[in-house]
Chain A
Amino acid sequence: MAYTTFNRQINDQMKEPMFFGNPVNVSRYDQQKYGIFEKLIEKQLSFFWRPEEVDVSKDRIDYQNLPPHEKHIFISNLKYQTLLDSVQGRSPNVAFLPIVSLPELETWIETWAFSETIHSRSYTHIVRNISSEPHKVFDDIMLNEKILERADDVTRYYDDLIDGINLYQRCGEGTHSINGETLSISLYELKRRLYLCVMSVNVLEAIRFYVSFACSFAFAERELMEGNAKIIRLIARDEALHLTGTQHMLNIMAAGDDDADMAKIAKECEEEAYAIFRKAAEQEKDWAEYLFKDGSMIGLNKDILCQYVEYITNSRMQAIGMKAIFSTTQNPIPWINTWLVSDNVQVAPQEAEISSYLVGQIDNEVDGGDFGDFDL
Chain B
Amino acid sequence: MPCVKVTAGVVIDFDGRARSLLDALEQQKLEVNFHCREGYCGACRCKLLSGEISYINEPLAFVRKGEFLPCCSTPLTDIEIEIP
Segment with Cβ contacts to B, from A73-81, A121-129, A238-246: A238-246
Instruction: Determine whether the beta carbon of B62 is less than 8 Å from that of A39.
Output: no
Segment with Cβ contacts to A, from B2-10, B36-44, B48-56, B74-82: B36-44
Main SS class of interface, A = helix
CB distance from A229 to the nearest CB of B (A): 15
Query: Given contacts A337-B33, A341-B36, are A315 and B43 in contact (CB under 8 A)?
Result: yes
CB distance from A356 to the nearest CB of B (A): 15
Instruction: Determine whether the beta carbon of A244 is less than 8 Å from that of B42.
Output: yes
**Set of chain A residues within 8 Å of B37, measured between Cβ atoms:** 341-343
Instruction: Determine whether the beta carbon of A342 is less than 8 Å from that of B38.
Output: yes
Task: Identify the closest chain B residue to A243 (Cβ).
Answer: B41
Contact residues, A11-43 vs B (CB, 8 A): 36, 39-40, 43
**Set of chain B residues within 8 Å of A269, measured between Cβ atoms:** none
**Set of chain B residues within 8 Å of A342, measured between Cβ atoms:** 36-38, 40
CB distance from A10 to the nearest CB of B (A): 32
Query: Given contacts A241-B40, A315-B43, are A341 and B34 in contact (CB under 8 A)?
Result: yes
CB distance from A157 to the nearest CB of B (A): 21
Contact residues, B46-84 vs A (CB, 8 A): 60-62, 64, 84
Task: Identify the closest chain B residue to A320 (Cβ).
Answer: B62
Determine the distance from Cα of A341 to Cα of B36 in the docked complex, in whole angstroms: 4
Contact residues, B1-49 vs A (CB, 8 A): 31, 33-38, 40-43, 45
Instruction: Determine whether the beta carbon of A247 is less than 8 Å from that of B61.
Output: yes
Instruction: Determine whether the beta carbon of B36 is less than 8 Å from that of A237.
Output: yes
Instruction: Determine whether the beta carbon of A244 is less than 8 Å from that of B38.
Output: no
Instruction: Determine whether the beta carbon of A319 is less than 8 Å from that of B62.
Output: yes
Q: Taking the complex as formed, is A321 at the interface, i.e. its CB lies under 8 A from any CB of chain B?
A: yes
Task: Identify the closest chain B residue to A331 (Cβ).
Answer: B33
Contact residues, A243-291 vs B (CB, 8 A): 243-244, 247-248, 251
CB distance from A373 to the nearest CB of B (A): 44
Determine the distance from Cα of A320 to Cα of B60 in the docked complex, in whole angstroms: 15
CB distance from A317 to the nearest CB of B (A): 12
Q: Taking the complex as formed, is A340 at the interface, i.e. its CB lies under 8 A from any CB of chain B?
A: yes
CB distance from A50 to the nearest CB of B (A): 21
CB distance from B23 to the nearest CB of A (A): 12
Checking A43, A240, A247 against B35 with a beta-carbon cut-off of 8 angstroms, the contacting residue is A240
Looking at A39, A243, A251, A334, the one whose CB has the most chain B CB atoms below 10 A away is A243
Determine the distance from Cα of A198 to Cα of B84 in the docked complex, in whole angstroms: 25
CB distance from B49 to the nearest CB of A (A): 16
Checking A39, A315, A319, A331 against B60 with a beta-carbon cut-off of 8 angstroms, the contacting residue is A39
Instruction: Determine whether the beta carbon of B35 is less than 8 Å from that of A40.
Output: no
Task: Identify the closest chain B residue to A329 (Cβ).
Answer: B84
Instruction: Determine whether the beta carbon of A36 is less than 8 Å from that of B36.
Output: no
Task: Identify the closest chain A residue to B36 (Cβ).
Answer: A342
Instruction: Determine whether the beta carbon of A43 is less than 8 Å from that of B60.
Output: yes
Determine the distance from Cα of A318 to Cα of B84 in the docked complex, in whole angstroms: 10
Determine the distance from Cα of A120 to Cα of B35 in the docked complex, in whole angstroms: 23
Contact residues, A322-347 vs B (CB, 8 A): 331, 334, 337, 340-343
Instruction: Determine whether the beta carbon of A244 is less than 8 Å from that of B35.
Output: no
Determine the distance from Cα of A321 to Cα of B45 in the docked complex, in whole angstroms: 12
**Set of chain B residues within 8 Å of A43, measured between Cβ atoms:** 40, 60
Checking B35, B60, B62, B64 against A340 with a beta-carbon cut-off of 8 angstroms, the contacting residue is B35
Instruction: Determine whether the beta carbon of B41 is less than 8 Å from that of A36.
Output: no
Query: Given contacts A241-B60, A318-B84, are A340 and B45 in contact (CB under 8 A)?
Result: no
30 contacts between A and B (CB under 8 A): A39-B60, A43-B40, A43-B60, A240-B35, A240-B36, A240-B43, A243-B41, A244-B40, A244-B41, A247-B42, A247-B61, A251-B62, A315-B84, A318-B84, A319-B42, A319-B62, A321-B64, A337-B33, A337-B34, A337-B43, A340-B41, A340-B43, A341-B35, A341-B36, A341-B37, A342-B36, A342-B37, A342-B38, A343-B37, A343-B38
Chain B interfacial positions (CB closer than 8 Å to A): 31, 33-38, 40-43, 45, 60-62, 64, 84
Extra pairs beyond A244-B42, A251-B64, A337-B33 (19, CB < 8 Å): A36-B60, A40-B60, A43-B60, A240-B40, A244-B62, A315-B43, A319-B42, A321-B64, A331-B33, A334-B31, A337-B35, A337-B43, A340-B35, A340-B36, A340-B41, A341-B36, A341-B37, A342-B36, A343-B37
